[in-house]
Amino acid sequence: MTTDKLKITMSERRPLTIVKADWPLIAQADWHDGRVECQANNIRRIRVREHADGRRIVYGYQCAGDGGQHAGTRNPKGGFLIAAGDEDETVRAIRRVGGIIADDGLAAECIADLPAEDI
């Protein structure tokens, strides 16, 4: 049996490798510049994953779509590991990742996709 792993590029630390099943997605946002994603040149994604112990990984990246990119295009990536229970830091990390991939609107969409706060 193979375990589905994911290597995540982080900011200000070396990459992390996780078992996807141990870190389910709790929020995400996607953007592409084509009419449909399969025609896009550029794709951007922001993801928030949470471990059962409450830690979170916020990460995002830009990558080439099936439409291809100009030679020499640099695709930014970044991420942050957040301590358990720090909801405000999760939002700040999403905004920082949005800055890394130059898409503040995508960051706002990801924040809106977080689980709602009960008050």
Residue 10: inside a domain = yes
Residue 38: inside a domain = yes
* Cβ burial, residue 107 (10 Å; 0-12/13-18/19+): buried
Q: For position 48, what pLDDT does the model report?
A: 98
Per the structure, the count of domains in the chain is 1
Residue 54: inside a domain = yes
pTM: 0.92
Query: Quick one: pLDDT band at residue 3, thresholds 50, 70, 90?
Result: confident
**Each residue of 21-46: pLDDT tens digit?**
999 999 999 999 978 888 898 999 99
Print the domain residue range for 9.
5-113
Residue 69: inside a domain = yes
Q: Do 79 and 58 meet the contact criterion of CB atoms below 8 Å apart?
A: yes
Query: Residue 21 has what DSSP assignment?
Result: G
Q: Please determine, for residue 2, whether its predicted confidence score (pLDDT) is greater than 80.
A: no
Which tokens hold the place of 86?
A: 């720090």
Dihedral in degrees, nearest 10, Cα atoms 84, 86, 90, 96: -110
**Each residue of 76-112: pLDDT tens digit?**
999 999 999 888 999 999 999 999 999 999 999 999 9
Query: Residue 54 has what DSSP assignment?
Result: S
